[in-house]
Amino acid sequence: MSALLSYDHALERLLAALTPVSAQSRALAQAVGCVAAQDVRTAQPVPAQAMALRDGYEMQAQEIAGASSYAPVVLSAPPRFVRAGETLSADCDCVVDASGFDLGGPLPQALVESFPGENIRRAGEDVASDVVLVRAGEMISPAHCLCLAAAGVDAVSVRAPVIALRGDDKLLKHWLADQLSQAGVYLVGVPDLILALGATHSTQQLALEPGREIVLEQEQGVPLMSIPARFDQVFAALHAFIWPALARLSGVVRAETRLPLAQKIASRVGVAELALFEERGGHFHLLALGDLPLQSLARATHVSLIGAMSEGHGAGEMITAFAVRT
């Protein structure tokens, strides 16, 4: 058998064959799940003016300071009743429950006091004006869209790569499709990358554990990744190749977690190895390294790639890992 192909070299070849997909403008409803191509800023504050958070009477807090049932404060005029979500008058800064007033006598009286900001949302407290709400490379969520719509944004610039997913193993395909859905990927359309799950044939294996038998080729100019139909191999392909490929195609950014190791890790020099961790007690606890049993894959909360030139890491050493959802 020929010498193992360096993982770093294989990844470099894959990334060189990929071109970032073009940015396109999409209405908010069609942008959910896509990756933002650039920072998205709010166009206006929400709310534009102070609004009521509950039904009651709008007031200026200083006008009823010290009011109580024993020492009512006489008002110059009956207060205005507002519904939740209604804009307040410019000189009002609180909303008081109806039970806090006596409006049946000859003069309206306040029976309770309040404070500025009680039961209201001040201008810009929901969403401030001209702030970055979604950063480039971040997936756009339904919550993002609600905020953006309220702030006057009706469309955003996104990148949405297409990945063709082939293979007969329905469970593996379903799992991988679910993982890809977290990265703003479309599975229908002209592919930017092809993933084929099944038997692989190559004269040269990768210096990657697990993942030796992953094969990187091209099909009519489109990068093709052949992956053995085993969960550990598909998991390795996802974290060692597919996520970096998506970062190249759409600029998607994965959230990192950095914590100290609970124990020492000894790694083989010359082979890149995937390490599975369980986050517990503010530390990463190693579950598996290189060989990834299904039980460890099911328990893992984070994954990290130990480089081929590393001999490992000592207990207490800080390490960066990515969250996994298996």
Q: What is the pLDDT of residues 248-303, one digit of tens each?
A: 999 999 989 999 999 999 988 999 999 999 999 999 999 999 999 999 999 999 99
Q: Are residues 209 and 236 in the same domain?
A: yes
So what's the pLDDT on residue 135?
A: 94
Q: Are residues 182 and 224 in the same domain?
A: yes
pLDDT digits (tens, 9 = 90+) for 33-75: 899 999 998 888 899 999 999 999 999 999 999 999 999 999 9
So what's the pLDDT on residue 2?
A: 61
Q: Tokens 């997909």 identify what position?
A: 21
Q: Are residues 219 and 195 in the same domain?
A: yes
In a domain, 241, yes or no: yes
Query: What span, in angstroms and rounded, lies between the C-alpha atoms of 52 and 49?
Result: 10
Q: Are residues 176 and 240 in the same domain?
A: yes
Q: Are residues 17 and 68 in the same domain?
A: no
In order of 34, 93, 147, 151, 183, the CA distances from 144 in angstroms are: 11, 28, 5, 11, 16
Mean pLDDT along residues 306-317: 92
Q: Are residues 186 and 240 in the same domain?
A: yes
In a domain, 155, yes or no: no
**How much of the chain, in percent, has pLDDT values that exceed 70?**
99
User: Could you tell me the residue range of the domain that residue 193 belongs to?
Assistant: 7-21+161-250
Choosing from 250, 272, 297, the residue where a domain stops is 250
Helix-helix angle 243-250:7-16, to 10 degrees:
30
So what's the pLDDT on residue 326?
A: 60
In a domain, 95, yes or no: yes
Query: What span, in angstroms and rounded, lies between the C-alpha atoms of 97 and 119?
Result: 9
Q: Would you list the DSSP string of 73-127?
A: EE-SSPPPEE-TTPBPPTT--EEE-GGGEE-SSSS-EE-S---TTTTEE-TTSSB
pLDDT above 90: residue 10: yes
So what's the pLDDT on residue 223?
A: 96
In a domain, 86, yes or no: yes
So what's the pLDDT on residue 268?
A: 87
For residue 15, the domain's CATH number is 3.40.980.10
So what's the pLDDT on residue 184?
A: 81
Residue 204's pLDDT band (cuts 50, 70, 90): confident
Q: Which of 33-37, 84-88, 129-133, 215-219 has the lowest mean pLDDT?
A: 129-133
Q: Are residues 166 and 246 in the same domain?
A: yes
Choosing from 250, 278, 300, the residue where a domain stops is 250
Largest CA distance in the chain: 101
Residue 27's pLDDT band (cuts 50, 70, 90): very high
Give me 289's structure tokens. 């390294």
Q: Are residues 260 and 312 in the same domain?
A: yes
Question: Domain tally for the chain?
Answer: 3
- Residues 75 and 195: beta-carbon distance below 8 Å: no
Mark 106-143 as b/e (b = at least 16 C-beta within 10 Å): eebbbbebbeeebbbbebbeebeeeeebbebbbbbeee
- CA 317 centroid distance within chain: 27
For residue 65, the domain's CATH number is 2.170.190.11
Q: Are residues 318 and 241 in the same domain?
A: no
Residue 195's pLDDT band (cuts 50, 70, 90): very high
Mean pLDDT rounded to a whole number for the chain: 93
In a domain, 116, yes or no: yes
Residue 1's pLDDT band (cuts 50, 70, 90): very low
In a domain, 299, yes or no: yes
In a domain, 174, yes or no: yes
For residue 313, the domain's CATH number is 2.40.340.10
- CA 278 centroid distance within chain: 20
Which residues partner with 303 through β-bridges? 276, 322
CB-based contacts of 237-241 (< 8 A; 24+ apart in sequence): 237/195, 237/211, 238/176, 238/179, 239/274, 239/303, 239/305, 239/322, 239/324, 240/7, 240/11, 240/208, 240/211, 240/214, 240/272, 240/274, 240/305, 241/10, 241/11, 241/14, 241/214, 241/216
pLDDT digits (tens, 9 = 90+) for 91-150: 999 999 999 999 998 999 999 999 999 999 999 998 888 889 999 999 999 999 998 998
pLDDT above 60: residue 242: yes
Q: Are residues 277 and 208 in the same domain?
A: no
Choosing from 250, 281, 299, the residue where a domain stops is 250
In a domain, 29, yes or no: no
So what's the pLDDT on residue 88?
A: 97
pLDDT above 80: residue 233: yes
